[in-house]
Amino acid sequence: MPFASVQELWDGFNPAGFGEGIFMVFRGYIDESYSGEATPRMFGLTCTFTYGSEWSWIEMAWQKCLDEKNISLKQQGRKTISRYHSTHINGFRGEFQDWDGVERQAFCEKLVDMRLGLKDTLGIPEVGDRCSGRS
């Protein structure tokens, strides 16, 4: 099956093209990342949007956070992570089963700081994001 990049597809949909046009891709997973209380105390949804020409910088910065964490995990003799998954990290399941609340909070804050650091550089609107406070 032939591969078409997002840039090639987008240029046909937006007269300003990929570099200058604004577009959004919504892909979401709504999950129950809470500790089991009858009425969950918090629900979070985070979105990031920017110009198409800026998106690769977001991907690179996000991947850098994952890579740096995996270096640390390897040095500790622990299993590395393949991606960030909110349900798993907040429930300490899957690749995050040996994490604790302190480690989770530090990692989530690093991801948020990365996005906020790019906000001024790339013009990403400020977003509200908060990791669960469970320890």
Q: Identify the domain containing residue 16 by its residue range.
A: 6-33+42-122
101 falls within a domain? yes
3-state secondary structure of 17: helix
1 falls within a domain? no
CA pair distance 45, 31, nearest whole angstrom = 10
How many domains does the chain fold into? 1
127 falls within a domain? no
- Read off the pLDDT band of 130 (50, 70, 90): very low
135 falls within a domain? no
52 falls within a domain? yes
3-state secondary structure of 131: coil
54 falls within a domain? yes
9-36 pLDDT, tens per residue? 777 777 787 777 776 666 655 555 556 6
pTM assigned to the model = 0.61
132 falls within a domain? no
Mean pLDDT of 52-73: 88
